[in-house]
Structure 1
Amino acid sequence: MEDFTVTTPLWRWQAATAPAAWFFVTISGDVADGIRLAAIGGQWLDGRRGFGSARVEAAIGDTRWKTSVFPHRESGGWLLPVKAAVRKAEGLAEGDMVTVTVSL
């Protein structure tokens, strides 16, 4: 398992027609490239993951969870969703700088 760590802002996405919001961190640059290379050796290119996603284990502070990262066209990197339970456990709010470690 390879680990990749980055510090990046937490941001919110909300559809104009949906009441719920989703929170993400964007992983770009060298860290994104490392994830892409590590994913090639795993399941990423087998065509079975939705939207070109790669399964990962993520950690912020003391909170760890299993999720997926999704390709982000605008940055050329990845989007990591940060669920409410993680934000609550770590006291995170929109705009906070977050240090996240992604393992795959």
Structure 2
Amino acid sequence: MLVQFNCLDKHPSMQDVRMQHLAAHLAWVEEHMTHICVAGPLKDNAKIIGSLYIIEAEDVKQAESLLHSDPYYTANIWASIDIFEFNAYAGSWVGGKNWPTQASN
């Protein structure tokens, strides 16, 4: 299953905290690359305002557990984390279209 995390920073000064934990965060990303489909900063007018992750896991609980080990999470950077199950059905990242099969009537 794919789980999307939309993590918004508490305030703009979190950029300094992000930089303090950047090396540890990048090491965490490299360590968990087999579960991370895509991850990166969310930006508004070139300023980082949060983080986006799509993580592959057996269930939401496992994906949350993985996210909770991220140094950015433990540094308490984010004001909110929205969590959604995600289905990758179309786009260049999934090789075109991958529509779910539907039973014939």
Q: TM-score, normalised by structure 1?
A: 0.33
Q: Which has the higher strand share?
A: 1
Larger of the two Rg values belongs to structure:
2
